[in-house]
């Protein structure tokens, strides 16, 4: 199974000032139907740099050779052209 879900986790209150674990909140993000975003995939590489998430390649029905960047502050994807 290959997916393209994006979930955010708020770890702000993961441990309070007394060192007691508290709840972690999770939110599944939704995007406009025809907005730029990666196709569903598995076997990709992912990395975080400079507050952005990079998704490279992977596979669904075919091998993928693409690079997508997710900006969590803007909650948007854009594709980077690979030469």
Residues with Cβ within 8 Å of 62's Cβ and at least 6 positions away in sequence, in order, are none
What is the band of 13 on the pLDDT scale with cuts at 50, 70, 90?
Answer: low
Take residue 12 and report the two structure tokens written for it: 């702000």
Secondary structure (DSSP) of 19-68: S-B-PPEEEE----TTS--PPSBBS-EEEEETTEEEEEEEESSSEEEEEE
- Using CA atoms, how far apart are residues 15 and 41, in angstroms rounded to an integer? 34
Q: Which two tokens stand for residue 20?
A: 């007691």
Predicted confidence (pLDDT) per residue in 26-52, tens digit: 889 988 888 899 999 999 999 999 999
The residue extents of the domains of the chain are 7-80
Look at residue 21 in the predicted model and tell me its pLDDT. 64
């Amino acid at each position: 199974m290959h997916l393209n879900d994006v979930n955010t986790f708020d770890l702000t209150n993961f441990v309070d000032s007394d060192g007691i674990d508290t709840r972690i909140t999770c939110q599944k993000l939704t995007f406009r139907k025809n907005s730029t975003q990666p196709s569903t995939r598995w076997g990709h590489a992912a990395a975080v740099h400079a507050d952005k998430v990079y998704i490279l390649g992977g596979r669904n029905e075919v091998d993928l050779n693409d690079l997508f960047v997710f900006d969590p502050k803007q909650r948007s994807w854009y594709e980077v052209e690979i030469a």
